A and B are shown apart, each in its own frame.
Chain A
Amino acid sequence: MPSTDENFIKLCYWCRLGDVDNVDRLISKGVNLNDIDEFNNSPLFLASLCGHEELVKLLLNRGAICDRDRHEGARCIYGALTDSIRNILLKYSISKAVDLKQPFASHLSSQLTNSGLKSHDLVLHFSDGKCIQLHRFLLAARSEYFAAKLHGAWAECSNIIMPNDMSSQAFGIIAKFIYLVPVLHSITDEDSVSLKRICEEAELTSLADYLRDTAGISDQISKSTILTSYQYRLTEEARQHMAMITKDIINLKRPANFVEGIPTRILHDMKSCSIIPDIFLLVKPYDDPDRGYIYPCHRSILVRSDYFRVMFSSQFGEASSYRHTPEGIIDRSYDLPIVSLPTSSIEVANLILSYLYFDETEVPWKLAFDVLATADALLIERLKTMAAVAITQEPTFFDLYSVFDVLTVAWQFRVRRLELYAAKVIANNIDRYAHQSEFREAILQSCSRLKDREETDTIELIDDIRFYIQDNYKVDQDELDDLDWNKRDGGKSEPRRELISYFEDHQKLENLLNEMGLNA
């Protein structure tokens, strides 16, 4: 059945064009990469046919399947435009596909054993002497059964002695499942018996379904096929869980007044709230620095940002304010520190949190600049790209901002995509911009930037604009050389109309440069 998901159709469009950033954005919205469009094309087939190597890699990384033994997979391989794409596809093996991941999922997996951060706050002791360290909030987010336990019997206790009949092996698999560590392929028949019992008790229905569907199937290939179809379902289910917890966080945020100080009672309340936070995040509005909002958050999610990662793994005050129990987990009886998020906007803060918790990549264009700046301060490169995509995607953007604003932001925060975008916009409207003083300023600024970068006598902005002027009229260098040749011959062959337009635009740019006394 062809997919009717609007996002999927858009995704297919960008796959044809080869826009990696846009595809990445859409995948994180939860598009099933292994669907087909109305012509029975899969996104992987389109990317492979159109020769977008980086895109093929991205799709495979995010869970697109290339099963050589099936029609769709074989079609991808035969349709590949280049040998190197075909080799990438051939190297892909369906049995290894299990550890392909969405970014938020792979981050969660890494937190199960992240010993550098030491943010675990629950330890389960098993009868065979083994221990498993976990995060309370994640357990609660992923399973209602555990949520109930954590707010009930386990609320005050961080060392839980598990019943004797609970095997550490089976629970280890459950833990991996909860953290989205690829584990399904390694479940043995022995495991599945005890697993089934836990799944029923803890209401992990999707895992139970998987176990039921694979029961009795020993053929590795058909097992992998079932597995990959579950992969999508399980990942999206987890994404839902993470979206839920983000929603709770946003709902649970409290206003605070800094002039009076934040009452410890409020902090205490928040500390024991349903999502079990281990850090408070502060957002202060720009216009009123005395007021702000406090979000209950989780360090193990915030560390997706390099800024927070360093903050909590270095030896500064923020990291040193946590105390650990002898078992090496967080002692929750101490107060949680408050750190601020470098933004003044609640919307931006919400979006950043959504991105960190479940890969929200849809940036409202009006927020794009702010998100971009905040992502830069937090050192989250991918979110910067997503914001840039939002800007380039929005036709009405220039109702609010000028192209030079875009350029300034691009330079300020080093976003090449936006630089190119601005150059393209200018190239398309060279008539209009050639007379604007801002354009001259921008050219001069581009000149001065070059001094820092490389000792060449080109101006990057001008080069980019020239490229897009050529691109607009589908003029290539060969044609220009031919023309040059004809002129010297005194030939009378009439150049095509686009070429004349091209020369007009080109000349406008040259005139401006001459006027400014620039040689480039």
Chain B
Amino acid sequence: MFKIQIRSPAGLGDKTGSTFDASWKILEDAIEMIFSGRSSELSFEVLFRTVYSVVLRKQGEQLYERIHDAIDRKLRSVKTSSLNVKSTSLLDDILHAWNVQRESLRVISDVTMYLDKVYCKESRKPFVYDMGIDLFHNIIMKSSKDQLYGLIMGQINNARQSIADVDFQQLKYLVEMMETVANTSDTYFLAEFEPFLLRETQAFYSRVAEEYEGELFTYPSTVETLLTKEQEIDAKFLGDSVRLKISKEIRGALISENIQFVGMQVLPSILDSNRFTELKLLFELCDNSNDRKKIWKHLSQCITKEGLNINEDLTLKKKSQVAVRWIAEVIKLNEKYEGFFNTLPTSEPNGLKYINEATSAFLNQNGKTSAEYLAIYIDSMLRLPSEEGDMTKDRLGKSVKVFRLLRQKDVFEKLYHQQLSKRLLQQRSSLESEKNFLAIMEEEAGAMFALKPDGMFRDLLLSQSNNQKFRQSYNVPFEFEMSVLTSTCWPFQQTSSEKEVALPPALEKLKLDYENYYLKAYSGRALKWAYHLGSIEIGFQFSKSYHIITMPVFAAIILMLFEDYDELNMQEIFDLTHIPEQELMRNLLTIAVAPKTRLLKKQPLSKRILPTDRFRLNYSFSAPTTKVKVLAILYKGDFDGQFNPRSSDSLQDLAKERIRCVEACIVRALKFATKMYHDPLYQKVRENLANRFEVSSTMFQKSLDKLLEREYVQRDPDECTLYHYLP
């Protein structure tokens, strides 16, 4: 070819390795020696130089093929001679073959360094070492794959069940072997064995889950124990990444796949026994957000169930006691789970939502009762003497939380207004705490909520100053308190008949004087007297003791008749006073029949009052305290319904008001959109009113019909479900 003379490196190899076959003979013998562990008898110099010369002569490819075949032959003979797939020592045999192979390859690749560097790199062939490892994979590992896997898995499962002593060192070596053997890009371990291992692990733990026989509520801690044990086992022979995968697989098998069991059986059992540490553990074990969601849902169902199981304790006499007890239970329940929620790590932001939803769900299954109970609860809290201020404040704060979860907020609002007005007029609570609570509520429910109460407060303040002024200009021989109420702010019905009631002269004078004063001060206003809201205090010396008796105005009017008369029958009383019959009956029952406040003697003694019954003063009346309070009794039927007669009016009011709200909402929505189909409109109205009450479809239909009738809204002539706004 060219005239250049490169004296190619002289060496011992050159002379003997002049032909390829001669060179190969040297190397073939050497490979045989290396495999039998006799490499120290060989000369590196000779072997390297042989390979070098062959490669320089461009026979690298041939040499590579020959080496490949030689190793292939070697491995096949190892396979037939010393590997028996049925043998129990298969794992040891494979490991032995592996160690021999790896060691021999290392030595061979020292010799073939120049082949690797020149031929393999340029032809993009795997290096001799990698080629040999690959052959080991193809010849030894593939043929015994099933047995190999089976034996390894058997060992691992034995360790899991602590059945027999397991040779972890051996397992570790096997894992190392599989990690060394590489497929194309991934190691053999990653590509082939790991999926198998994970599958088997899953199967194993699914069986464990199926056969679980322990106490239901200890399931989470059992799972944790299993996990720790598995970690301990795995740490002895597996790498970090696969250990993570295994632990994930186990959680999957024991929790994700088993979520039905966990949610329906384990969870209720944990809750029944109040084992919140187990519950917390359960959440910690769930690393899958989907599972956690499911558990939260189950938990939420359980809370609802628990809430529904809170009984109204009907053995208690007073309705208010029932209500207070019930609401207190609700608050306790909610707090219990909220407390649990707070122990969870912050990665669980939706938990509180589930807890509140659950509380809300059972609150609303009780319908209006919940709202009513809450109102009563708050009423009784505010009526408590203010010494217990802090505790009351705390309780009120908590009840606001309940209010937040309430769906029929308008019912509550109505009741609250009613009770507030009573408390104010009867001066049963401190104005300050009322105002404080109202401020909290205003923040919670909006300014609308506080509109009427603010009016009430204003009226009372104004009345106080009026009273002072009045007292300065008129001389009244007894204590009195006038409250002028703006009728729109107070939830009372106006009675028209009360005008005719004949008052005792002293009162009549006061009434006329005040009217006189007030109309002078505020011209153009009309005053109406609401006797049924007032009360009168009378001091009287009975035969045994002196008592100051507080009683409703009507009762006082009746009683004061007996200043002039010794004995009267009912008809006579009516004629003298013109008190409406119903009220008369009520008040007579109160002061003549009710056992503790029998100021009048009735003849005949019976529980009912007939027009012919005769009454006279009961001088022998006595009571344990000087001050006696006469409470107007309620009609018998009051307790049966949820509202007493007077608030049953408000029930009707409520329905009417709801219809009004729905109508207004429809009009607002349509005005904004001009036209809308039935369903989206209904949806929108529902959404807008959701925080006040639930809009039923009949309610909606009713309001819509009314609006159509009044031509606020028009049905589309072509499409009967499309509605137009009429300006």
Q: What residues make up the interface of A, taking CB atoms closer than 8 Å to B?
A: 284, 286, 289, 306-307, 310-311, 314-320, 339-340, 342-345, 369-370, 373-374, 377, 379, 401-402, 404-405, 408-409, 412, 414, 438, 441, 452-453
Contacts and interface: CB of A to CB of B under 8 A. Distances in A.
A316 B40 contact: yes
A410 to B, nearest CB: 12
Nearest to A343: B9
Interface stretch (B86-94, B117-125, B643-651, B712-720): B117-125
B107 A318 contact: no
20 contacts: A289-B15, A310-B110, A314-B44, A315-B107, A316-B110, A317-B44, A318-B44, A342-B9, A342-B49, A369-B4, A377-B49, A377-B114, A379-B117, A404-B2, A405-B2, A405-B4, A408-B4, A409-B4, A412-B56, A414-B118
B43 A370 contact: no
A479 B42 CA distance: 63
A377 B9 contact: yes
Interface in B1-40: 1-4, 6-12, 15, 39-40
B43 A405 contact: no
A310 B2 contact: no
Contacts of B4: 369, 401-402, 404-405, 408-409
Interface of B: 1-4, 6-12, 15, 39-45, 47-49, 52, 56, 107, 110, 113-114, 117-118, 122-123
Given A310-B113, A318-B44, A343-B10, 18 more contacts: A307-B113, A310-B44, A311-B44, A314-B110, A315-B39, A318-B45, A320-B40, A340-B11, A342-B52, A343-B9, A344-B10, A377-B114, A404-B2, A404-B4, A405-B2, A408-B4, A412-B56, A441-B1
Contact of A339 (B6, B41, B45): B45
B115 to A, nearest CB: 12
Contacts of B3: 402, 405
Contacts of A307: 48, 113
A366 B110 CA distance: 32
A485 B3 CA distance: 47
Contact of A316 (B8, B43, B114, B118): B43
A350 B415 CA distance: 112
Of B9, B43, B117, B122, the most chain A CB neighbours within 10 A belong to: B9
A373 B6 contact: yes
Contacts of B41: 317
User: Main secondary structure on chain B at its contact with chain A?
Assistant: helix
Given A315-B40, A318-B44, A320-B40, A342 B6 contact: no
B42 A316 contact: yes
Contacts of B11: 340, 342
A53 to B, nearest CB: 26
Contacts of B123: 452
A58 B11 CA distance: 36
Of A306, A340, A373, A453, the most chain B CB neighbours within 10 A belong to: A340
B45 A370 contact: no
A452 B56 CA distance: 15
B7 A314 contact: no
Nearest to A315: B39
B122 A452 contact: yes
Nearest to A311: B44
Nearest to A283: B10
A311 B49 CA distance: 12
Nearest to A285: B10
A369 B6 contact: yes
Contact of B12 (A306, A340, A373, A452): A340
B122 A316 contact: no
Contacts of B122: 452-453
A351 to B, nearest CB: 14
A316 B113 contact: no
Of A307, A369, A441, the most chain B CB neighbours within 10 A belong to: A307
B39 A314 contact: yes
A316 B44 contact: yes
A265 B673 CA distance: 116
A284 B6 CA distance: 16
